[in-house]
Amino acid sequence: MAKYVYSFGGKTADGNGKMKELLGGKGANLAEMCLIGLPVPAGFTISTEVCTYFYDNKKTYPAELQKQIETAVAKVEKIIGTKFGDTKKMPLLVAVRSGARDSMPGMMDTILNLGLNDQTVLALVAATNNERFAWDCYRRFIQMYGDVVLGVQKAPDEDHEPFEVVIEGLKTERYQNAEMEDTKLNVADLKELVARFKKLVKSRTGKVFPENPWDQLKGAVGAVFGSWMNDRAKVYRRKYGIPDEWGTAVNVQAMVFGNTGESSGSGVAFTRDPATGEKVFYGEFLMNAQGEDVVAGVRTPDPVAKLNGIMPHAYKELEGVRKTLESHFKDMQDFEFTIQDGKLFMLQTRNGKRTGVAAVRIACEMVKEKLIDWKTGVTRVPADQLEQVLAPIFDRAAVKSAKVIATGLPAGPGAASGKIYFNADRSVEANAKGEKVLLVRVETSPEDLRGMIAAEGILTARGGVSSHAALVARQMGKVCVCGAAALQIDYHKKTLTVGDKTYKEGDFLSIDGTAGTVYAGELKTAPSEIIQGLLHGEKSAQESSTYKNFVQLMDWCKKSTRMTVRTNADNPEQTANAVSFGASGIGLCRTEHMFFEGDRIDAMREMILAETLEDRQKALAKLLPYQREDFLGMFKELKGLPATIRFLDPPLHEFLPNDKESQAALAKKLGVPVEKIASRVHSLHEFNPMLGHRGCRLGISYPEISAMQARAVFEAAAECQKAGVKAKPEIMIPLVGFKKELDLQVAVVHEVAAQVQKEKKVKLSYLVGTMIEVPRGALTADEIAETAEFFSFGTNDLTQTTLGMSRDDSGSFLPHYAESEIVKKNPFATIDQKGAGELMRIAIEKGRSTRENIKLGICGEHGGDPDSVKFCDKLGLDYVSCSPFRVPIARLAAAQAAIAAAK
């Protein structure tokens, strides 16, 4: 018989920590914690296979499931010594929680205190001798169950949750204070709430609240499986690339109570600081509260260290757990605990989410502590998180003169300025208009996810650093300050008031998520310590531990990588930056970009608009010195590293003077009638410039253009070499689909090379290769490789031409494709492995069939995308090339790919 239910408790478990696919992260780790002897309340996990079955079979369950659940409940009853639905003695109450393979904080549903009804609540009263506690549990249960399972939720036109409205109504009625704390409600109040909640359920759903605990359990399990497909879970999965097929498990676990009185409490803690990575016990707890109160951010919790003063015994035990968890799981853990009447229980542990800065620090320090080896250290930093490490901070001078209007908890590091918006939808709208947005909320809930994605930063008035909002923000690399209690937010008026100052929606604020400060107005930002240390050579920045850890990590990457990382750079400054980041050469110099600036574009336009060879030669003669000078500067910065220089590939629409004003200005400069310019622009007009007269097609029509470029390259190389610095140009011909195109261009290059070497009396070494960026080039790569000494995959064009989707226009329809899950990720950001990626594979195989050791690289934007870098490693490329600031990210991804391949 298939096994769908896995029990745990009493220091044994059916599952273990390795079974995350089947039991989800939470279920697997609950089992593992039991096995290593930590105090875990008994329970069982319904496997992810049941979730898959549920969705494949019209939301029904396998026939065997009910029986297996009953057996598992009986086991829990035996371990705990209580009975589910007992109306005489202490009843067994359970928590029902979701648990996917990867944790999705706050995205799915949880139900606590399940098993309570009008009879069992009385048994609970008798058994605990605590009437208030029992009725508080009951009203919480109805509230959660009503919301999650029965769907009694805020309608779009309502401002508040309906159950909260009932609570506030009662508080106003009985105490004239809607804001008073829930803990002040007495037994009579709670009983009244239970009655009113049930009425609310009846009026909203037309059904009576279920009294039978087994019916309650069935409903809760169904709701948790159902929540796998709720909107916010789907949005979260899309953002983090979690496949729908994984499904969630359901964990049913005996309740322990953090709300039995002043010797109880609940908390969330991290074995190290998840924001900075510092090795301190970090976390929060609330006395006399259930776990949900801590993460929901409704009450602001106390730091965990304070527990030492209140319950030294429990604190000591917790410290022990912290050590056990790290030495067993060998990673920073994020765990939830409850103390019931002085006794500690562990409810969950998982690898803690952390900021990029913390990830680097924890990896480096755990290696130093010999908890992990350095290769494991390299795999511990998600490559795209390095982006956060390189994120800007506020300019120091700007901070000095800025006004701090409030402080809160530093929940997501970095600096952000933006216009404030008070709800998620308006944040999304404003961001779509190109505004920088700060999402400001009293407390955020997972429904705010879209707004958080759109925002530069998030600011809340309530909540702690382990609230879901803060976790999610941190993981997204968003700057976040939470619990800034001085903020008074009026959603209705769309204002935020601090003291006597009021800010309206659309006003600028700035937040520092490292310090937890909120500033009025827009502040200037400054680069991170790593940027300051690496690119600007600032001594004080180089002393910082952030800088040192980063350098350490990059050293490990160097030791373990197979592929190298080059950069896409078009001028000496970009080249210098990339070299500082560890680039091992230039993988793409887009020579047309050298003409964007100043007067240079005029010479370029003159060249494009020339109608005769003579006119073109004249314009080319102006372009040559610009190019030579830039190439020389880049060769010098490279100090002997190779430079792939691509010949002109100007999509004409980017360079032509299309409006009357610029046509008139150019006519004046060139001393020709404006009509002449206008008519030439008209005749050059292309319907589809991206597929038009660009790439090598230009050099085929006008070989003199390629000859000029070759001359600029070789003259610069000769000069550089004479100055004692080796130059290694690799000339790259773009958009080749036919071997003959390449042959014609290569002939021009060789001819000019011979001329320059003779004129300058130097010996130059260089390569000539091509980009593979149209399908025909990939499919005939064997022929092309007879001439090409290297291939570089231009995956921007290869994606465009393989998918038949314009790279410039796809933004208007790709979001619909993502929503309909036609594409899992944007194919212009992450290589479409089955389409464009398959053409790469074919090109490599064919290319190697005629030139065994052909050098292979990639220079499309995908070269800086971690998933694509890993794919390139699998294909066996020699290097990837990406923009300078992504070089560290690509280096890390490349090292991780090599380490994974060696396993």
Give the type of residue at 583. Answer: A
CA 10 to chain centre: 38
Tell whether residue 797 is a contact of ligand PEP (CB under 6 A).
Answer: yes
Q: Give the footprint of Mg ion on this chain (CB under 5 A).
A: 773, 794, 797
The residue among 552 and 796 lying less far from ligand PEP, judged by its C-beta, is 796
Residue 17 interacts with, from ligand PEP, Mg ion, none (CB under 5-8 Å by kind)? none
Task: Provide the mask over 814-853, with x wherever binding to ligand PEP is found by CB under 6 A and - wherever it is not.
Answer: ----------------------------------------
Residue 273 interacts with, from ligand PEP, Mg ion, none (CB under 5-8 Å by kind)? none
Q: Which residues of 643-676 are buried (b: 16+ CB within 10 A; e: fewer)?
A: bbbbbbbbbbbebbbeeeebbeebbeebeeeeee
Q: Are the C-beta atoms of 241 and 305 separated by less than 8 Å?
A: no
Give least dist CB 637 to ligand PEP, A.
Answer: 21
List binders of ligand PEP among 276-305 (CB under 6 A): none
For 2, list phi and psi in degrees, rounded to 5: -65, 145
Q: Are the C-beta atoms of 507 and 393 separated by less than 8 Å?
A: no
Counting beta carbons within 10 angstroms of the beta carbon of residue 57, is it exposed (0 to 12), middle (13 to 18) or buried (19 or more)? exposed
Can 859 be counted among the known catalytic residues? yes
Tell whether residue 859 is a contact of ligand PEP (CB under 6 A).
Answer: yes
Side-chain-side CA neighbours of 603 within 13 Å: the count stands at 20
Give least dist CB 20 to Mg ion, A.
Answer: 41
Catalytic residue among 859, 862, 872, 882: 859
Task: Provide the mask over 860-899, with x wherever binding to ligand PEP is found by CB under 6 A and - wherever it is not.
Answer: x---------------------------------------
Give least dist CB 646 to Mg ion, A.
Answer: 8
Give least dist CB 598 to ligand PEP, A.
Answer: 21
Give least dist CB 588 to ligand PEP, A.
Answer: 6
Extract the tokens encoding 731: 């000339």
The residue among 354 and 862 lying less far from ligand PEP, judged by its C-beta, is 862
Residues in the chain, total: 903
The residue among 101 and 646 lying less far from ligand PEP, judged by its C-beta, is 646
Tell whether residue 794 is a contact of ligand PEP (CB under 6 A).
Answer: yes
CA–CA distance, 158 with 514 (Å, rounded to integer): 35
Q: What residues contact 506, with CB distance under 8 A and at least 6 apart?
A: 419, 420, 421
Longest dimension (CA), the chain: 104
The DSSP result for 219-273, as a single string, is HHHHHHHHHTTSHHHHHHHHHHT--GGG-EEEEEEE---S-SSTT-EEEEEESS-
Extract the tokens encoding 524: 């200037």
List binders of ligand PEP among 747-786 (CB under 6 A): 773
Tell whether residue 588 is a contact of ligand PEP (CB under 6 A).
Answer: yes
Give least dist CB 903 to Mg ion, A.
Answer: 35
Collapsed DSSP state (helix, strand, coil) of residue 477: coil
The residue among 794 and 837 lying less far from ligand PEP, judged by its C-beta, is 794
The residue among 462 and 593 lying less far from ligand PEP, judged by its C-beta, is 593
CA-based radius of gyration for the chain: 32
Give least dist CB 847 to Mg ion, A.
Answer: 18
Angle of helix 572-580 versus helix 613-638 axis, rounded to 10: 30
The residue among 326 and 592 lying less far from Mg ion, judged by its C-beta, is 592
The residue among 22 and 588 lying less far from ligand PEP, judged by its C-beta, is 588
Residue 590 interacts with, from Mg ion, ligand PEP, none (CB under 5-8 Å by kind)? ligand PEP
Residue 730 interacts with, from ligand PEP, Mg ion, none (CB under 5-8 Å by kind)? none
The residue among 518 and 705 lying less far from Mg ion, judged by its C-beta, is 705
Tell whether residue 590 is a contact of ligand PEP (CB under 6 A).
Answer: yes
Q: What residues contact 31, with CB distance under 8 A and at least 6 apart?
A: 6, 8, 13, 14, 15, 16, 17, 19, 23, 45
Residue 484 to residues 268, 301, 454, 666, 692: CA-CA distances in angstroms? 20, 13, 21, 56, 56
Residue 795 interacts with, from Mg ion, ligand PEP, none (CB under 5-8 Å by kind)? ligand PEP
Residue 336 interacts with, from Mg ion, ligand PEP, none (CB under 5-8 Å by kind)? none
Catalytic residue among 364, 468, 480, 482: 468
Neighbours of 505 (CB within 10 A): 16
Tell whether residue 796 is a contact of ligand PEP (CB under 6 A).
Answer: yes
CA dihedral 296, 302, 305, 310 (to 10 degrees): -120
Residues in the interface with ligand PEP (CB under 6 A) total 10
Give least dist CB 584 to ligand PEP, A.
Answer: 18
The residue among 588 and 634 lying less far from ligand PEP, judged by its C-beta, is 588
Tell whether residue 567 is a contact of ligand PEP (CB under 6 A).
Answer: no
Active site residues: 468, 859
Q: Which residues bind ligand PEP (CB under 6 A)?
A: 588, 590, 649, 773, 794-797, 859-860
